[in-house]
Amino acid sequence: MTQATAGPVTRGDESAPRHADEVERVVAELRTDATRGLTARDAAERLETHGRNELGGDEPLSLWRILLGQFTSPLIVILLVAFAVTIVIDEHTDAAVIAAVLVINATIGATQERKADRSVRALMELAAPRSTIVRDGVEQDVDSAELVPGDLVVLTSGSRVPADLRLVSATTLDIDESLLTGESDPTRKGTAPVAEETPVADRTCVAYMGSAVANGRGRGVVIATATGTELGSIAASIQQATRPETPLQKRMRRFANIIAVVVLGATVVAFVLGVALGTPADQMFLTAVALAVAVVPEGLPVAFTVAMALGVHRMAKRNAIIRSLPAVETLGSTDTIGSDKTGTLTANRMTVLLGWTGDGWVSFAGTAHEPGGTRRDARDVVSADPCGALADSLRTAILSSEADLILDGDEIVDHRGDPTEWALLVAAREAGLAHVDVRRQHPELASVPFEAQARCSYVVTDEGDGAAVLRLKGAPERVLELCTSVRSGSVTRPLDLDEVHAVANDMAARGLRVLATAQRRLDLPAAQVDPHRPPVPDALTLTGLVGMQDPPRSGVADAIARCRSAGIRVVMITGDHVATARAIARDLGISGEAQALTGADLERMDDAQLRDVVGDVDVFARVTPDHKLRVVQALQSHDLVVAVTGDGVNDGPALKAADIGVAMGRSGTDVAREASDMVLTDDDFVSIVDAVEEGRVVFDNVRKVTYFLLSTGAASIVAIIASIVAGLPLPYVPAALLWLNVVTNGLQDVALAFDPGERGVLDQPPRRSSEGILSRALWERTVLTGTAMAAGSLWLYTWAIDAGLSPPQQRGAALTTLVIAMAAHAYNARSERRSILVTRFHGNPFLLISTIVAVIVHLLATHWEPTQRVLQIEPVTAAGWARILAVAVAVVLISETDKLLRRRRARA
């Protein structure tokens, strides 16, 4: 190998499929040296050409931008217009009230959404700050940002990979790539090239930026830096991915358009009618402004924000942290959940479930999960016979393992090493074999660690009687090639390959990872074993097979059943092997057939083909970040509201593009958390279902608040237009309408946001995306109850006129009627379908308190001179109160009658 020659490497070289090339070719094309690395001069020139090995990003959102974002809602825009009009016509009191509403809403929203979008900056935390490299033949410690293509990097246990590397040497090198691939097991690396079409998870000759060395050592040549790395391409995808408009934002936009049309229509009608009936134009202009104020539900934005903020608080108690307010309601609209497997549906803990020896099947009791159905004549392990095949199989697993268990008395408090190996130690402990005792009784004489090419590892141990025993574990196909017999009880019998292959295939079909163990007593005495030249294994006796799996989390199967009853489909999207994913999907009830597509299948499909099949496929396995993003977008193309879970960097683009991204709080990366809308503090799928339930409660409460406030607006519209047509003076001044919308009813609408929710909220199907904030029934009921309240208010108004009361007393009677009627109507709004008689009166104490406070505040306002002057009202007489209470009862009866008729119609 010659020393690197001067000259830059083009960027085109960085994207070449280096995993398919031999080491020599990669080294030659990068003009470097696999032993001495680059020269300092070459490195400096390449740094000028390629730039620093850093991932950049946008600046975080400033507080001002977050605050301005609170004023983009269409409903808020209408309020801003109303604020401007009241300023122009010198109605400063009205302007001050509207301004207060805008400030309160912006403050609450900005407080909840203060966290900036730091997705790409979180990626930088994954890049190693310092790296050990070889330059000019000398190992040196450098800033990772100064790495360039062609640099020779040294990897050791515990280090983080600083760039994409083509490995040139590897000794028992295991790298944790879960942040890229989603797989929980470290990948054993080597130097042999793999096929060009091999997915990232199987490129064993490449180490990727951001992954961590779990064990061993190696060296690799830098083939890509910064944005040219796999991590860099994910960063670019996250930046390019745009968050879709949430269902609530869509509904709010449609709702605001309706309000704008109603405002415009009502004001024009009122103005034209008034002028036609002889009212001066300037007076009618002020009347039209008053009507506009009446129609716009000023308290609605604050009530919306409070309802969602309360949802955030309740979800936090159920282990779901919401990062943006609109995500609260989006959860309630979710009809598809694309879930990662490892750590979300499963426990992220390898567990030995089944074993087989020449004596038959055994079941390990350390898990309640029973994979794939009935076990054939399995017996539970209580304590292994020290002289039996099972004990020998587990001893081999212990002695050929580099893992360790950390104990506190009899309790396992921690573990070290490969998850597969410490799972075997736990299984042995369950069978009564303590790994510390076994290793003390059988000291190691020589060992050969696991290599991907050999697919096995083995150890030679001293049996204490002068004899040496070779113990081997590995892939069943490889181990069986070396076996001639099988252990059965205390004897051996000839090996029946068909029988053992059938057992191994049975375990694999259940989604289990299968390992075989074997041993042979050597003719060579223990004292003569050379630790540097271990004997070659052959003519072994098979001692057993073990099947392990990352088992499903407790409660997940029930949660998926709840999703099904709620009309929510669950799809598994994982980087794991298809057989494992399909088996877990069957066990959890995601799909009986567990139809599956792999990343390779997706590569052969265009977007149109994927859209056609995505509705029929329940499992997507061995997928890359791009594949996961495509699956999410294909689901969304069917107008589905999609929630996606993830914990790794590879999940970032899909999390950001989903309608709601759900990241893991414990095992997840910063990248996943920052790209998400919600973080699960317990990494449990069950918490997602709980959050969906809370999201539906939030939307129901938003709907209650909207219906309640629009009823007031409808009453005001009808009353004002009716008074104009009848030639009566206006029953309310603009300030009185703002008082009604913001102060009195404003207390009750916020209290409705505290409603705990109705029973069976998860038994209903998800809301259609085309469905508005109010259902058709509620729109009709709004007109019905609004007209009833308007009629009652005008009845009191005309009664006061006929009784010869003063104009302030007349207006006081009309306004107080609406206040009392709406106080009663607030309880109508607690349920769209259920009667007020079966809705627990004390179920929402905040509503009871706010109703009492609203009435008291209004009564005080009718007696306090400053508010009398602003609202132009005076107290209601004793004779008027009996009529007002009658109106309130009538409004409740009208609403109850409508509910009853609709319930009967629904049953019919």
Rounded Cα distance between 594 and 618, Å, is 6
Contact of 431 with 394, CB cutoff 8 Å: yes
- The one-character DSSP state at 365 is T
Full 3-state SS string of 373-393:
CCCCCCEECCCCCCCCHHHHH
Nearest partner of 294 among 710, 706, 703, judged by Cα: 710
Let me know the angle formed at the C-alpha of 509 by 507 and 513, rounded to the nearest 5 degrees.
Answer: 50
Is residue 639 annotated as part of the catalytic site, yes or no? no
Contact of 509 with 586, CB cutoff 8 Å: no
φ/ψ of 538, rounded to 5, equals -165, 165
Rounded Cα distance between 609 and 598, Å, is 14
Pairing of strands 540-549, 513-525: antiparallel
Nearest partner of 578 among 610, 622, 513, judged by Cα: 622
Rounded Cα distance between 526 and 459, Å, is 12
**H or E stretch covering 187:** strand 187-188
Contact of 47 with 146, CB cutoff 8 Å: yes
Let me know the angle formed at the C-alpha of 320 by 318 and 321, rounded to the nearest 5 degrees.
Answer: 130
- Residue 592: CB atoms within 10 A of its CB come to 9
φ/ψ of 770, rounded to 5, equals -80, -10
Burial environment of residue 612 by CB neighbours within 10 A (0 to 12, 13 to 18, 19 or more): exposed
Give 669-734 as a DSSP string: -HHHHHH-SEEETT--HHHHHHHHHHHHHHHHHHHHHHHHHHHHHHHHHHHHHHHHHTTPPPSS-H
Contact of 812 with 733, CB cutoff 8 Å: no
Residues in the chain: 908
Rounded Cα distance between 492 and 487, Å, is 4
Q: Which value, in Å, is the radius of gyration of the alpha carbons in the chain?
A: 36
Write down the catalytic residue from 340, 462, 587, 659. Answer: 340
**H or E stretch covering 462:** strand 456-462
φ/ψ of 840, rounded to 5, equals -55, 120
Strand partners, 487: 492
Residues 6+ apart with CB under 8 A from 521: 463, 467, 468, 469
Rounded Cα distance between 556 and 687, Å, is 9
- Residue 8: CB atoms within 10 A of its CB come to 17
Strand partners, 663: 646, 679
Rounded Cα distance between 69 and 85, Å, is 22
Rounded Cα distance between 103 and 581, Å, is 50
Let me know the angle formed at the C-alpha of 340 by 598 and 198, rounded to the nearest 5 degrees.
Answer: 35
φ/ψ of 143, rounded to 5, equals -70, 125
Rounded Cα distance between 674 and 664, Å, is 11
Contact of 661 with 675, CB cutoff 8 Å: yes
Residues 6+ apart with CB under 8 A from 477: 455
| Token pair of 268 as six digits | 């024009």
Rounded Cα distance between 773 and 526, Å, is 80
Say how many CA atoms lie within 13 Å of 571 toward its Cβ.
27
Q: Which residues are catalytic?
A: 340
